[in-house]
Amino acid sequence: MTAMSILAEFGSTAAVGPLRCGATLNGIAATLGPPWDIGRVSKRRRWPHLFSYGDVELCVCRCRRVTLISVQTWRDAIELPVPGTGTLTAYAGPLTHARVTEELRAIGCPFTPVTLHQPPG
């Protein structure tokens, strides 16, 4: 399995191994072990909180459910959970937007780019 195939699966199933929105942190930890604690989203509030498994970051609400998943693909080595194994594996990076979208197109996964509007200046 390659990083691109794992990310393509993520793009088409919205899950990276056991990591998916709506999953409980305890349920994920039962498969992958305890997550890395990245810290609070806000300096004033404990929740939501960020955790990670390798380069997959999870935003978790107070009820301990995953509300957002982001995958860091810009690093020289990208550590991802291998679906079906419960382990993390390092892959060569970085992965560009062009490579990821090309792989999604190759497996027929529709996607719509999100355009973020920045204020002038």
Cα 63 from chain centroid (whole Å) = 19
> Tell me, what's the pLDDT at 62?
92
pTM: 0.78
Kindly report, residue by residue over 34-91, the tens digit of the pLDDT: 999 999 888 888 889 999 998 999 999 999 999 999 888 888 898 988 766 777 889 8
HSE at residue 68, side-chain half, CA atoms within 13 A, is 7
Query: What's the helix, strand, coil split of the chain in %, to 5?
Result: 25, 30, 45
pLDDT-wise least confident of 9-13, 40-44, 115-119: 115-119
